[in-house]
């Protein structure tokens, strides 16, 4: 494992911990898209279906379990926790995420590296992850003001994807048979979706002001 992948994994983990901290400390999920969290839960369940059939390393297995369990826990809190679910911005979280699921599935069936059940699920998870942040970004634009912990969550989530691009570049030059082009292209698309958020995030940081996104 190279330093870029490890840093990406840790940054991804930090983003989830920040979100859990927000929910636990404030007993609120205001500003958080439940639809995005459900999409990420589907991403991890599809991608890590091999957890029961393939062992790579203890680190790999632990990370898979952590990402699945933590994301499902967030979805449960937003759906089942009596106090937390009252703060859910249902009127703002209206992105039709089912279209993203359907489009990702069709694309996975058409564009994949191998026509096997596991590879189709892997491609589906990659395509879906690339666009899973869209409901969250739309919600933040509609709400305008972004609280600190929510902003930190989205920032670390975007940073994770940026670090993974560096990981793919590193692997391309150091691993002769590296050919995960689907992940590379999808990762670039996903990172591009964060561009507007990052612009306003760094602008607010530079001016020491509250993060605001234009509607």
pLDDT digits 0-9 by tens, 39-62: 999 999 999 988 888 888 999 999
**Would you tell me how many other CB atoms lie within 10 Å of the CB of residue 84?**
21
- Degrees, nearest 5: CA angle 194-211-203: 70
Q: Is residue 91 included in any domain, yes or no?
A: yes
What is the per-residue pLDDT for 137? 92
Q: Is residue 108 included in any domain, yes or no?
A: yes
What is the per-residue pLDDT for 59? 92
Q: Is residue 212 included in any domain, yes or no?
A: no
pLDDT tier at 144, thresholds 50, 70, 90: confident
The answer, as to whether pTM is greater than 0.85, is: yes
Q: Is residue 165 included in any domain, yes or no?
A: yes
Q: Is residue 53 included in any domain, yes or no?
A: yes
For residues 38 and 136, the answer to whether their CB atoms sit within 8 Å is no
Q: Is residue 215 included in any domain, yes or no?
A: no
> What are the pLDDT digits (tens) for 183-198?
888 888 888 888 888 8
What is the per-residue pLDDT for 215? 65
Q: Is residue 100 included in any domain, yes or no?
A: yes
| Owning domain of residue 139 | 3-206
Q: Output the six-digit token pair for 64.
A: 């898979």
Q: Tokens 């990052």 label which residue? A: 198
Alpha helices in the chain, H assignment, sequence order: 3-26, 34-47, 58-80, 97-110, 117-131, 134-143, 148-174, 181-193, 195-206
- The more confidently predicted of residues 126 and 203 is 126
What is the per-residue pLDDT for 83? 82
What is the per-residue pLDDT for 143? 83
Number of structural domains found in the chain: 1
Q: Output the six-digit token pair for 54.
A: 């393939």
Q: Is residue 214 included in any domain, yes or no?
A: no
């Amino acid at each position: 494992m190279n330093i870029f992948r490890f840093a990406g994994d840790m940054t991804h983990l930090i983003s989830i911990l920040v979100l859990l901290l927000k929910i636990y400390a404030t007993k609120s999920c205001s500003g958080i898209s439940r639809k995005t969290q459900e999409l990420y839960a589907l991403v991890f369940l599809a991608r890590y279906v091999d957890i029961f059939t393939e062992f790579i390393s203890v680190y790999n297995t632990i990370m898979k379990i952590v990402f699945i369990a933590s994301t499902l826990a967030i979805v449960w809190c937003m759906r089942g926790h009596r106090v937390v679910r009252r703060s859910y911005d249902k009127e703002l979280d209206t992105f039709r995420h089912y279209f993203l699921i359907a489009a990702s599935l069709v694309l996975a069936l058409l564009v994949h590296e191998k026509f096997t059940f596991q590879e189709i699920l892997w491609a589906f998870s990659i395509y879906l992850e690339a666009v899973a942040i869209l409901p969250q970004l739309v919600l933040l634009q509609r709400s305008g003001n972004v609280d600190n912990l929510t902003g930190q969550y989205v920032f670390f989530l975007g940073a994770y994807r940026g670090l993974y691009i560096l990981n793919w570049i590193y692997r391309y030059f150091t691993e002769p048979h590296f050919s995960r082009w689907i992940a590379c292209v999808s990762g670039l698309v996903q990172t591009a979706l964060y561009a507007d958020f990052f612009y306003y995030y760094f602008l607010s940081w530079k001016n020491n002001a509250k993060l605001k996104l234009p509607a």
